[in-house]
Amino acid sequence: MVGRFERLRTGRRVARVRRVPARTPWGNLVGYSRAVRKGSVIAVSGTTATNTRGRIIGRNDPYKQTTFIVKKIQATLKELGGTLDDIVRTRIYTTDISLWREIARAHRQSLGKPKPACTMVQVSRLIDPDMLVEMEVEAVCDN
């Protein structure tokens, strides 16, 4: 391995893959990583307002849940050498689209500078009934 690249037997260099574990009860049950980086691209899995024990943060408060989610994503990006400014796309899933203004306010306050492409949709439910918001992001880092 040479820095961010691996040298294959053929001599060709390819970007290596780096992963951040989910650190929630669902990570091992489902079999996913919180985030994966290959080259300059970071993909962050759907993230909810849960701590490492699976406890919901900001129950019944879409603004608090979204703010917690963004902080969780920010910490994940940092582990892989990225920042919130590197985010190019967000996808937001909510169980109640009528809450969109509070979700959007938290999104704008945290991500209003990079202004990533964004989609927000209502879904019938998330894995826990107290989860109101889930967000996934894609980032592109130059470092």
Structure confidence by residue, pLDDT tens digits, 122-138: 999 999 999 999 999 99
Q: Which of 72, 66, 82 is nearest to 118 (CA)?
A: 66
pLDDT band at 83 (very low <50, low <70, confident <90, very high): very high
- Position 27 confidence tier, pLDDT thresholds 50, 70, 90: confident
Q: Are 116 and 90 in contact (CB under 8 A)?
A: yes
Q: How many helices (H) and strands (E) does the chain have?
A: 3, 8
End-to-end CA distance of the chain: 17
User: How far is it, in rounded angstroms, from Cα 108 to Cα 92?
Assistant: 13
Domains of the chain and CATH, by start: 21-140 (3.30.1330.40)
Please give the structure tokens belonging to residue 120: 């927000």
Mean pLDDT across 58-87: 98
